Amino acid sequence: MDRIEKRLYVVICSMFTIMITAGFVSGGFIETVRAFITLQTLGARLIQDFTYTHVGAALVNSALVGICGLVIVFFSEIHLAGPTMAAILTLTGFGLFGNTPFNSIPIILGVWIAAVTARKTLGAYSIIAMFGTALAPIVTYLAFELFGGGLWTIVLGIAVGLVIGFLLPAIAGTMLLTHQGYNLYNIGFSCGFLGLFIAGLLKAAGRLRDLSIVWNETFHPVLYLLIPFFGVMLIVCGFLIDRNVSVRDTLASFVKIQKLPGRLPSDFIDMASAGGTLVNMGLLALASWTYAAIIKAPMNGPVLGGMLTIIGFGGFGKSLKNCWPVMAGTIIATLVFGKSLTAPGPILAALFCTTLAPVAGQFGIIAGLLVGFIHLTMVETTAIWHGGLDLYNNGFAGGLTATLFIAFMQWYRTNRPREDFEQ
């Protein structure tokens, strides 16, 4: 592990320490531990805002889920870099509204069993293992929500989680080819696809319950200030992480990131530098938080989850330049269709639509606006298709939108008459 990577570990660990400390301080130790245990047994399908139950416990749960990801990266001997930081911070974000250590670990173990079966290391499948926890709600749904909890239902939930984890590597690779890497949350797309079959099966058995939205609208100072604090911290760390690199070089590296399309797999730490990447992540944090603050959106679990995901992907495909057109497209669609910008669907779509940022990065502003617009119309429909079981619903909708767009672009590119042989 090199010097820069060690410092990245310090940055990520500091974020988790801050979250855990803030959780216990704001919630009280005993009460937070009690609520944390409650969170493990809550239904986790979309949208279950853990901060509605207990802000402190939600923060501790979120940090612990992120630590699970960090442990995978450390022990499977892969690099803590753009892709792995994206996965860890996405896990952390969804730890505020869906992922818990209890429902995530069976999926991770399932992917590990698939890796052993295919004679690979867990490191080789680590990205799939971490993002695969998008389907973690099925574990809690079967273990606690559907049958009320009991030893055999817990065993059933864990067993189904293992099976899903085992299936994911096969599906993820195939789904990646459909959109050619233009949907950053590819595992969300894969999990949505698999979720269609699981939801179909549950529906056929009469066991799929209707979705409900648990959405915290109460102001909490810790939730309100967490993201701007992380944003400033990441920017400062970006300028300090490598003493051999000047401020000017870090800024040059940040500018270089803005010029990259961001198509999967774009590890900004590898393609630019760790400093420039952290600055990009910090500025994305501040930009997304400012948007939410301006429209007066509630700073709750799902909204903060969206921002943490954007921060994470600031090292793996997202930049200020390729995110804004897609966000603008989604905001325009929200206004055109007369929806509220602060309603759960539109605010989450405005944050998570940045899964399509590579489309804007590669094909320009108009393309970005267009896919952002289409994304909103899709994302409001798709959650019902998979019964809210895929936490990365925007990844699923984004995958469909990207596939449609890329299919058209591929047809256009492969039929350019001026490149034909002369007749």
Partner 1 sequence: MKRKEFLGRLIGEISGYILQGNPLRMVISLHQEEDGAHISIFDDIKRDESELKKIRTALNPTSKRPELAEYYGLMAGHDTPWDARLKLVGWQIKKATVENSDSGIQIELWLGGDAFNPDHFTL
Give the footprint of partner 1 on this chain (CB under 8 A).
Answer: 76, 78-79, 83-84, 120-121, 123-128, 169, 172-173, 176-177, 180-181, 263-265, 267, 270, 362, 409-410, 413-414
Query: Considering beta carbons, is residue 129 or 143 the nearer one to partner 1?
Result: 129
- Spatial contact of 305 and 93, defined as CB atoms under 8 Å apart: yes
Residue 8 or residue 160: which is nearer to partner 1 going by CB? 8
Helix axes 365-385, 186-204, angle to 10 degrees: 20
Closest contact distance (angstroms) between CB of 327 and partner 1 is 24
Shortest Cβ distance from residue 78 to partner 1 (Å)?
5
In the complex, least distance from residue 276 CB atom to partner 1, rounded to whole angstroms = 18
List helix spans (H) across 132-258: 137-140, 151-179, 186-204, 221-240, 247-258
Question: What are the residues whose beta carbons fall under 8 Å from the beta carbon of 183, sequence distance 6 or more?
Answer: 189, 264, 355, 356, 358, 395, 398, 399, 401, 402, 403
CB-based contact 238:283 (threshold 8 Å): no
Q: Of 272 and 327, which has the nearer Cβ to partner 1?
A: 272
d(CA 316, CA 306): 15
Q: Give the shortest CB-410-to-partner 1 separation in angstroms.
A: 5
Q: What is the dihedral of CA 312, 353, 199, 160, to 10 degrees?
A: -10
Residue at token pair 């900004």:
268
Closer Cβ to partner 1, 209 or 413, answer by number: 413
Residue 56 or 169 with smaller CB distance to partner 1: 169
- Give whichever of 73 and 378 is closer to partner 1, judged by the CB atom: 73
Q: Rounded to the nearest whole angstrom, what is the least distance from the CB of residue 177 to partner 1 in the complex?
A: 5
CA pair distance 41, 245, nearest whole angstrom: 48
Dist. CA 212–CA 215, nearest whole Å: 10
Least Å from the CB of residue 76 to partner 1: 8
